[in-house]
Structure 1
Amino acid sequence: MTHVSTRPLEQSEFDIWQQAIARQFADAQVAAGLWTEEEALDRAVEANRTLLPDGLDTRHMILLRGVLADGTPIGRLWIGLTHPRGVAGCAYLYDIEVDPGFRGRGLGRALLAAAEATARDHGATHLELNVFGDNPTAIGLYSTAGFEVVTQQMRKRLS
């Protein structure tokens, strides 16, 4: 596995990422049938604002840039040290993303390992995340990395 280290996200990177992550989250919510296209982006921006009220300085949130040994940035991590539903000792991985030009090289697995190490270094005994059902690549990665399903929602379209 290629080694990936992390460094704090810089303010300029955070500003760009905030726009991109809101769009991605909005699109995922629409695809999952949870939000309408018309409301999605506003709701995603507000959700992120609520979770990160002080931006990079938000308490109990860690925003990192994954980098290769030569310093090349390859992705991002957003880790909450407190679980959104209050699960004791459990950090929450809000976002993990490998930049498009670096995908398919095992860097997602390396970035996930870096997230686990960061959570562990901050005292977490568990790490939880959410993955949408239409993302088999991510589901496969998390399963082979030892993540287990703890809750599952299912839906059926009714004619």
Structure 2
Amino acid sequence: MARLRAAGPDEADAVQAVWESSNAEDDPASWSRGGWSVIGWATHTRVLEVDHRVVGVVAVRAEPAPDQAMPARVALDISTRQPRLAQKLVRGAVELIREAGGVRVRLFVPSRAEWTQTAARAAGFEPVRMVAHMLLPASAPTPQAGPVAGLHLRPIRPGEDRRVLAALNRNWAGTWNFVSIPYEMLKEDLEGQREGMLLGLDDADQIIATCHAVYAPSGQNPDGNPRAWISNLTVDPGHRERGIARFMLAAGIAHLRERGASSITLGVDANNPAPFRLYQSVGFQISTSTEA
């Protein structure tokens, strides 16, 4: 007997374990530990129970993007990937977003996850965007970028988290599927990884660019090298087309390699040509992708 229900307070580890194993199978290029904590990201969750065991997860974030779509993700234990269970999870995502007052559902589906794709198509979903997970091979040289006039680089300082959060939300605003980053999510991202949060500041000490270079050698990149990735590469809208993004990217890659990284991963909206071309220009290649 399979049923969707709310997760119990003592089931956080079981939920995260299903999430991580499912993502590791479907999208090995995604961030370590499933990319993020389910509890930290989702505002609403349900678990799929079969024979008194948690085998599936539905996670949604009840924050509408500019097009009013709310994001949803599903995970299913590898040993229980049956069409009826996949369909139950996808239907559960739709119902959960409706309960949260949503009018549109944006379901993120790894391109390798045929079990989700089949269930999503049966429920009427159509892919409209691709998020590419890219890898810079260990053999690729560290890119070089000349200095940018009026730009000063340094890592985040103690007590500066909320300034950085404000800059991230300002710089990401207006991009596809953007919803404001909550403080709790940034706090989780920075845990043990503060030295890699690189900031670009103007002469007035205002944050105009960011790049988070994360090194987690206890994990592995898809090619087997130590886990390392770039995230939150952003530039203030008023300072774009000055070479700042390339400068920050080069700084992030150099930082990671100085710490021992070889290959490096990142995720990007493949339908946004400027960042996609930037990453390709320094040697990043598509490893896997997610449809949305």
Identify the match of residue 59 of structure 1 among 174, 192, 199.
192
Query: CA 1:31–1:124 in 2, change beyond 3 Å: closer, same or farther?
Result: same
Q: Deviations over 1:90-122 (max 9, x none)?
A: 311121112222210112111111111100101
Identify the match of residue 226 of structure 2 among 59, 74, 89.
89
User: Normalising to structure 2: TM-score of the pair?
Assistant: 0.40
User: Is 1:9 the counterpart of 2:156 in the alignment?
Assistant: yes
**1:3/1:68 contact within 8 Å kept:** no
Residue aligning to 1:49: 187
2:249 is aligned with what amino acid? L
Q: Deviations over 1:61-100 (max 9, x none)?
A: 421112579x885411112111796424231112111222
- Distance apart, 1:11 and its partner CA: 3.8
**2:167/2:207 contact within 8 Å kept:** no
Q: Which has more helix, going by share of residues? A: 1
User: Is 1:75 the counterpart of 2:209 in the alignment?
Assistant: yes
Distance in 2, matches of 1:60 and 1:6, equals 17
Distance in 1, matches of 2:245 and 2:158, equals 23
Distance in 2, matches of 1:137 and 1:131, equals 10
Q: Deviations over 1:19-57 (max 9, x none)?
A: 4536777976x728xxxxxxx558x544333333xxxxx
User: Is 1:126 the counterpart of 2:260 in the alignment?
Assistant: no
Identify the match of residue 21 of structure 1 among 157, 161, 168.
168
Distance in 2, matches of 1:84 and 1:130, equals 20
**2:197/2:211 contact within 8 Å kept:** yes
Distance in 2, matches of 1:144 and 1:131, equals 14
Query: Alpha carbon RMSD of aligned pairs, Å?
Result: 3.5
Give percent identity, aligned residues only.
26
Distance in 2, matches of 1:111 and 1:129, equals 14
Secondary structure class of the residue paired with 2:264 = strand
Secondary structure class of the residue paired with 2:290 = coil
Q: Which has more strand, going by share of residues? A: 2
Identify the match of residue 31 of structure 1 among 168, 177, 183.
177
User: Normalising to structure 1: TM-score of the pair?
Assistant: 0.68
Specify every segment of 5 or more residues in structure 2 that has no aligned partner in the other structure, as ranges: 1-144
Residue aligning to 2:287: 150
Residue aligning to 1:55: none
